[in-house]
A and B are shown apart, each in its own frame.
Chain A
Amino acid sequence: MSQLTLLVLQIGFLLLMWVFVFAIVYALRSDLFGQRVRKLQPDAAQAGTPAASGFPSSPITPGGGTRKPAPAPAPAPANGEIASAQNARTLVITSGPKAGAEFPLGRDEITIGRSADSAIIIRDDYTSTHHARLMLWNDRWMIQDLDSTNGTFLDGSRVSVPTPIPLGVPVKVGATTFELRR
């Protein structure tokens, strides 16, 4: 092995290490420099500030990109069908500071409250630390009030025992109202 070959191999090795480092940095780039701003679709842009419109301003996927805007004020299907694991797909905030935001429904229970370990964290003066929770009982979505100070309201009446939630019926926690949709 001549010295020259070894020198070339050494430089090659160092380069390889740096390529590895930069491969990671490249894969991380949107983490380091922020994500590229995507243009709003024209109809959404005309609708003014997203939060004011019924446009879901903050879908849980900011990277979602080209997702179609949901039909603005969704027609509430007031047919009284109980939300179940099969027919309910999202929880939509209908009024309050984050009106329009959506939250995907899986099969896990969803805790609502002021504490940082809640799934939906609502920080306002009316919400208790552990306020309420949504859970699946026999495949149906139920709301349970966790002994909150100001109460949880399903369609205007206070929830005292775990109650099944019909699709499209407003649930009020503090200053926030949400409903379950398909």
Chain B
Amino acid sequence: MTDPIAPIASGSSSSTGSPNSAGYPSSTGSPSSSRGGRRAARAAGEPTPPSGIRRIRLPQKLRNLELALLLFACAINAGAIVLVQLGALGAIDTQLILLGAGLSALVLALHISMRFVARDADPFLLPIATLLNGIGIAMIYRIDIAEGDTGWDSAAVRQIVWSAIAIVCAIVTILVIRNHRVLFKYTYLSGLVAIVLLLLPLVPGLGDDHDGAQVWISIAGVMNFQPGEIAKIALAVFFAGYLVRNRDSLSMVGRTFLGMRFPRARDLGPLLVVWALSMAVIVFQRDLGTALLYFGLFLVMLYVATGRLSWIVLGLSLFLAGALIASQVLEYVGNRFANWLNPFDPARYEAEVGGSYQLVQGLFGLSNGGLIGTGWGQGRPDITPVPQSDYIIASLGEELGLAGIFAILALYLLFVSRGFRIGFAGQDDFGKLLGVGLSFVVALQVFIVVGGVMRVIPLTGLTTPFLAAGGSSLVANWIIVALLLRLSDTVRNHPRLVIDG
């Protein structure tokens, strides 16, 4: 393992911009000529071969590293399912392992298509996403066993099918979008798409009321979909394009107050519009988490685009004010706050509607897990309501323990840091903002849902990216993976030189 990684790492890091490269992302190769060969030729001091001679195909170091990690991740995934079966059933059943193998084949198909269309893409994103997805499937399967669901009733089987759809979507994305700058042309169209997707669940006949939150649409009663998940990608594209076009007026003018430069009143428009949008989500769709996600995404992208802290201050105070008012006026928000502050109050614990039963059961589960967990299939995560979607992190915490949860959080951390790195190394402002926005939305979503389960912030219903049962979430997050891969490939493919006079 050590040997192949060592030379590759220097290649990978230098291309994402090593600290000493002052704005030089460092790849020599243009798409047609590959850098490895050039470097080798230079190192040997040989004259470059006359062109017209077809270049020999060079080993794709980044892709080989990705393949190694991918196989490792698939092995862990298979191990997780086997352990679930050993722990919960006491025997090995090959059916689901075969389905899982089909999934591994699809992930490998994505890998192979990247060998052709995105040779220089980041090698870590795909293995991390694969591992998280597989652990999620294993946990959902474990809960199916506890609840006795088999066949199409089984959420795990459905999750596998959705994963397959999601990975196919990712393959299509990476094949169709050859350069992220095409998205820049569709800035306002994607803004419109985002609004339409957000409004879809409110359309009578299409919307599907699920646990109080109106964020689902149901097509013919069979296919349930949460359009808000896809909307977050469209919103990230829209915000990136919009901010690149307009950031000068948002960042240059304004008056200084308390050491911060505040924007002019008329430049507050976009902030207020997005704020109103998220408040509408809170009021009409009764979904606190999604509102927080969209608004946080916008704030961070605004901050990255303009570099001004005053936007964060203004935005956070707006959101906190809105959330406080909502907690007084709207009953469901008030309940969430009360559960967060006093979950162990018997009145709250035993409340029929909007009580803290779920939250407290999750906490009990986590404490039952302890340091190394009860082991796959040996805890009781099924006592908690919705243990396979919103509460999957508590289920995993019970069976894998603190050690397992931290490994999962470390995977998210690596995923998000790669995303930021890609944004950081990007050359055009749109790509930078899009990279940061897409990875931040994953980070924020993990924070909102894990923080909610662990009582850091009030509990809000959101899916844990890649882990939780839910098709729309999987599709959206795999498309995010595909977009980040595409971004990282473009970043490396175009050499650049910065001269500061």
Contacts and interface: CB of A to CB of B under 8 A. Distances in A.
B73 interface: yes
Nearest to A85: B51
A10 B13 contact: no
A30 B18 contact: yes
Interface in A94-150: 96-98, 101, 103-108, 116-117, 119-127
Contacts of B23: 121
Nearest to B124: A24
A66 interface: yes
A27 B5 contact: yes
A30 B501 contact: no
A104 B48 CA distance: 13
Contact of B372 (A10, A60, A119): A10
Contact of B69 (A23, A34, A65): A23
A119 B428 CA distance: 10
Contacts of A76: none
The winner among B65, B127, B500 for most chain A CB atoms within 10 A is B500
Interface in B182-240: none
B501 A106 contact: no
Nearest to A36: B10
A122 B501 contact: yes
Contact of A14 (B27, B31, B73, B407): B407
Interface string A1-12: 100001101110
A116 B427 contact: yes
A167 interface: no
A47 B79 CA distance: 58
The winner among A14, A25, A58 for most chain B CB atoms within 10 A is A14
A40 B18 CA distance: 18
A150 B411 CA distance: 51
Interface residues of B, number: 78
Nearest to B429: A116
A62 interface: yes
Contacts of B28: 60-61, 64, 104
Contact of A107 (B32, B127, B404): B32
Interface residues of A, number: 62
Given A35-B18, A104-B29, A67 B43 contact: yes
Interface in B368-409: 372-373, 375-376, 378, 400-401, 403-404, 407-408
Nearest to A98: B499
A121 B69 contact: no
A16 B43 contact: no
B49 to A, nearest CB: 11
Nearest to B378: A6
Interface string B460-501: 000000000000000000000000000000000011111111
A39 interface: no
A21 B52 CA distance: 44
B299 to A, nearest CB: 22
Interface stretch (B83-91, B290-298, B330-338): B83-91
Interface string B10-35: 11111010111111101111111101
B248 to A, nearest CB: 12
A30 B10 contact: yes
A106 B496 contact: no
Interface of B: 1-2, 5, 8-14, 16, 18-24, 26-33, 35, 38-39, 42-43, 45, 48, 50-52, 65, 69, 72-73, 76, 79-80, 83, 86-87, 90, 123-124, 127-128, 131, 372-373, 375-376, 378, 400-401, 403-404, 407-408, 410-411, 414, 421, 427-429, 494-501
5 cross-chain pairs, A with B, having the tightest CB-CB distances, nearest first: A124-B501, A106-B30, A31-B13, A63-B14, A117-B428
